[in-house]
Structure 1
Amino acid sequence: MNKIRAASAETAPPVWRTGAEQPWDPEDLAVAQGKDPTPENIARARAELERDGAAAIERTVP
């Protein structure tokens, strides 16, 4: 009989999922940071996403 062995927690690498795995709009980042999606906050979030990429999201939504 063939037995399929499931990987145990000791042998399988952990699978981490972060908020940065999905696409984020500047509006989404501004709201996630607790700010209203005003043109100024959206512009700031856009600049933050362009400058820092996924790190901008990781700081807000780890």
Structure 2
Amino acid sequence: MSTAQPDEGTDRATPDALLHTRTGTEVTPEDVVLAAGRDVTPKNLEWAKRKIETEGVAALDKLLP
């Protein structure tokens, strides 16, 4: 039994412009808290709200690879 080998030249990184972390929906404080690996607590939700207010939807994008 043989294993399939990738085509030559396919071992390239995907350009950043093609990577997407959001689904087009609104970013919630809970989304930001969870993406940061934190527990959903009132203190962390307040932190996330401030982060969204200052950074907009990029707040979530910056936390995810």
TM-score by length of 1: 0.64
Q: Which runs of 5+ in 2 are unaligned?
A: 1-16
Instruction: Pick one of 58, 61, 64 that aligns with 1:58.
Output: 61
Query: How many residues matched?
Result: 48
Q: Which runs of 5+ in 1 are unaligned?
A: 1-14
Instruction: Pick one of 13, 19, 22 that aligns with 2:21.
Output: 19
Aligned to 2:38: 35
Alpha-carbon distance between aligned partners in 2 of 1:35 and 1:25, rounded to the nearest angstrom: 14
Q: Which amino acid aligns with 1:16?
A: L
Greater relative contact order structure (CA < 8 Å, 6+ sep): 1
TM-score by length of 2: 0.61
